Structure 1
Amino acid sequence: MPMHLIQKHLCGNDKYPLRLKNCRIPMCASCQYGKQSKRSVRKKKSRPIATENAPPGMEVSVDQLESSVGGRSIKGYGKSKNLITVCTLFVDNTTQFMFAHPQFSTSAAETLEAKSKFEHCALMHGREIKNYHADNGSFAAAEFTDDIKNKKQGIRYCAPGTHNQNGIAERHIRTISDISRSMLIHAATKWPDKITPSLWPFAIMLAVDVWNHTPRGENGAPIDLFSKFRRSDISYF
């Protein structure tokens, strides 16, 4: 999310004066480049329906972002031959809290590892995941479904060829992709010798962190709504 939009959300939260909330938003060249896309021929816009009345963790939408550009491993120092090509994104339907997990492939084993790490993160916030909503693919693999059954969870799948049924995850993947791309473009203008497209996994993780900690109106940030213990930390904004 661009910094000027973050500031707009933070106005009135003891971080910025309330009078700045309705100030003129400056043009950001990096954001304009990062969010470019082919214009849709459809004029009617629709929004995925979030389960606002359900408790956090009741249903989580999950999907995978695949990149043709190999990304550097989060854990390595840039010398690893294995490149990140996938990022699994979990979205809590009630609070819009997100969790991203970079992967080397879409294999069932790595996807199951992503699920385990997300559920561990949820438990750290005092939440237990009850149901998932996903496409087929690796989410329908035996390893994944066995883990669902063992933990007495539920899962709903999209019908073949109807990815729009997983609209919440699809929408958030688009949002995080736009934000992270804008971040990389902006960083490249400041440090062109070091910032390369292979850093996209780091940009994804940063974009998700900023999203989770950015207040949205009076209800607070997604992490405020999702977590029973932790509150958003905006000191580094």
Structure 2
Amino acid sequence: MDLFGPIPVRSLGGNKYTLVVVDEFTRFTWVVFLKKKSHAAQEIISLIRKNETLTGLKVKQLRSDHGTEFRNSTLEEFCDHKGIGQNFSAPRTPQQNGVAERRNRTLIEAGRTLMIHAGLPITFWAEAVNTACFTQNRSLIHRIHKKTPYEMLKDRKPDVSFFHVFGCVCYILNQRDPRSKFEPKADKELLSCPFDESPCAEEKSDSSDPIIPVPCPLNQDTAATSADNSLDTDETLEAENFPETDNVSVSISPESA
């Protein structure tokens, strides 16, 4: 695992750091966005507990550099209690933590490419990195096992039928109640995060309502992105930053915070 940042421009969720955790065997990757480096220890503990519950497997070893976000009393006490070994790379030798370091570069380059293609400002860096991680977990093929990281971890093939172009224009059914006869039936948004595999698990942020999960029928115009349409990206806000999970679906709408 590794951490990159601070990013000079805060993300839409106010974050400046990204925690990257890679499973050595499957190469499945999780990204968690942080406002402060000191939050990393608790996020790592939460991620370990969650995945041990989901998979029934036990984490045996953590490998990282000597950063204080990884070498601290909170994480050391947790690892001692769980019987997890901590392995640190030598100072100024990132090659010894090569898997995580190379993953950082891959995610950063993919995120940059997504933002340039969509014509989005740098404030969308977290959404772009999250999308890159989500799609690569379900598309990159392991050279030896001939499977994606998702299939190796979950023991089933991923559904990629819901994938759409990052930053494309999408239209979400307007389900506000009441709605006048001549009010638009759909709201024009930008797709800023991967969608959940279930079509009824979308999340929509509206300027007049709190963020609530609703079954939102959604259509994408993959031919149009923010680079060539009239949607003003300066007035858009993504609801939240999410770590990479199976339930990561977000749309963006006029700023509410």
Question: What is the TM-score normalised by the length of structure 2?
Answer: 0.58
Q: Tell me if the contact between 1:126 and 1:227 (Cα under 8 Å) persists in the aligned partners.
A: no
- Map of 2:71 onto structure 1: 140
**Among candidates 110, 114, 129, match of residue 204 of structure 1:** 129
Q: Is this contact kept in 2: 1:89–1:169, CA < 8 A?
A: yes
| Structure 1 residues 151 and 124: alpha-carbon distance in aligned structure 2, compared to 1, 3 A threshold | same
C-alpha distance in structure 2 between counterparts of 1:178 and 1:161, whole Å = 23
Cα distance change on mapping 1:231 and 1:128 into 2, 3 Å: farther
Please state if 1:176 is matched with 2:116: no
Q: Any idea what SS the aligned residue of 1:90 has?
A: strand
Pairwise CA RMSD of aligned residues?
1.7
Which one-letter code corresponds to 2:23 in the other structure?
Answer: D
1:84 corresponds in structure 2 to: 15
Match of 1:70 in 2: 10
Deviation of residue 215 (structure 1)?
Answer: 4.7
Deviations along 1:102-121, one digit per CA (max 9) or x if unpaired, are 000111xx112221332214
**In the aligned structure 1, how far is the partner of 2:159 from the partner of 2:79?**
33
Question: What residue ranges of structure 2 are gaps of 5+ in the alignment?
Answer: 164-257
> Number of residue pairs matched?
158
**Counterpart of 1:231?**
157
Residues 212 and 166 of structure 1, relative CA distance in 2, 3 Å threshold: same
Alignment of 1:145-156 (within 5 A): 145-156=76-87
Q: SS at the partner of 1:84?
A: coil
Secondary structure in 1 aligned to 2:160? coil
Kindly provide the amino acid, as one letter, of the partner of residue 116 in structure 1.
I
Q: CA deviation at 1:128?
A: 2.6
Moved over 6 A (4+): none
Q: Which has the larger radius of gyration?
A: 2
Change (3 A) 1:89 1:146: same
Flag the structure with higher helix content: 1
